[in-house]
């Protein structure tokens, strides 16, 4: 069974993005952009404000990614990204409110009422299980081509379908230890792609 590229031959997504690899940046935005949009929606931003916020978030990420250190963060790139998004959401709300006030007129007060209170946005990441599952699906789509079909099928049965290791081993005519090894290797690759230190509950 062919192994997928090791970290010695393939840098993690974040490492490649730090090196200003255009393909890595495209992968990063494709992977996390929908989650940022979901966060904005949960915080009641308008579609126009959401588009502006997404742009602001990834501009900020591009400027500060070199300072990101997973060992000093709360265990995941996602948590760090939420902090950036939270600041951008609050800044966006305040900016829109200032613009509404500056415009004046009889509709200014009504427009102000349409905006959420920036101070009421929660500090905690507002990700629901469906959003996290979608994030994992996008990550799997990005790395799947690095694996042979048989390797991915073993992983899928063991990790996604959550079939007991012994049953998967019988299905594929391999040892249970091999099933565990495949599962571990693919999850490690997903962890690299996500910038996530904890995939003990991968939301599969």
Nearest to 146 by CA among 3, 4, 2, 1: 4
DSSP state of 71: T
CA distances from 114 to 36, 41, 67 (A): 21, 14, 36
Residue 137 inside a domain? The answer is yes
Torsion of CA 145, 147, 153, 156, to 10 degrees: -80
Bridge partners of residue 196, in order along the sequence: 76
Residue 104 inside a domain? The answer is yes
Residue 30 inside a domain? The answer is yes
Question: Does the predicted TM-score (pTM) go above 0.85?
Answer: no
Residue 182 inside a domain? The answer is yes
Query: What pLDDT does 9 receive?
Result: 38
Average pLDDT over residues 122-132: 89
Q: What is the pLDDT of residues 20-71, one digit of tens each?
A: 899 999 999 999 999 999 999 998 888 988 999 999 999 999 999 988 876 5
Residue 204 inside a domain? The answer is no
User: Residue 163: exposed, middle, or buried by beta-carbon count in 10 A (0-12, 13-18, 19+)?
Assistant: middle
Query: What pLDDT does 117 receive?
Result: 62
Residue 24 inside a domain? The answer is yes
Residue 119 inside a domain? The answer is yes
How many structural domains comprise the chain? 1
- Residue 82's domain spans which residues? 13-194
String of b and e for 18-54 (b: at least 16 CB within 10 Å)?
beeeeebbebbbebbeebbbbbbebbbbeeebbebbb
Rounded Cα–Cα distance for residues 68 and 87 (Å): 16
């Amino acid at each position: 069974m062919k192994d997928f590229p090791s970290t010695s031959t393939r840098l993690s997504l974040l490492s490649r993005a730090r090196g200003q690899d255009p393909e890595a940046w495209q992968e990063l935005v494709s992977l996390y952009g929908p989650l940022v949009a979901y966060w904005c929606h949960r915080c009641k931003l308008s579609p126009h404000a959401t588009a502006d916020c997404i742009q602001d978030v990834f501009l900020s990420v591009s400027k500060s990614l070199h300072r990101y250190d997973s060992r000093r963060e709360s265990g995941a790139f996602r948590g760090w990204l939420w902090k950036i998004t939270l600041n951008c959401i609050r800044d966006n709300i305040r900016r829109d409110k200032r613009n509404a006030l500056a415009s004046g007129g009889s509709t200014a007060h009504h427009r102000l009422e349409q905006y959420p209170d920036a101070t009421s946005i929660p500090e905690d990441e507002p990700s629901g299980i469906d959003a996290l599952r979608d994030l994992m699906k996008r990550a799997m789509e990005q790395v799947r081509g690095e694996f042979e079909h048989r390797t991915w099928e073993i992983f899928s049965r063991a990790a996604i379908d959550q079939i007991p290791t012994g049953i998967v081993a019988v299905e594929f005519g391999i040892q249970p230890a091999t099933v565990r090894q495949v599962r571990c290797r693919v999850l490690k690759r997903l962890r690299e792609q996500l910038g996530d230190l904890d995939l003990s509950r991968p939301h599969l």
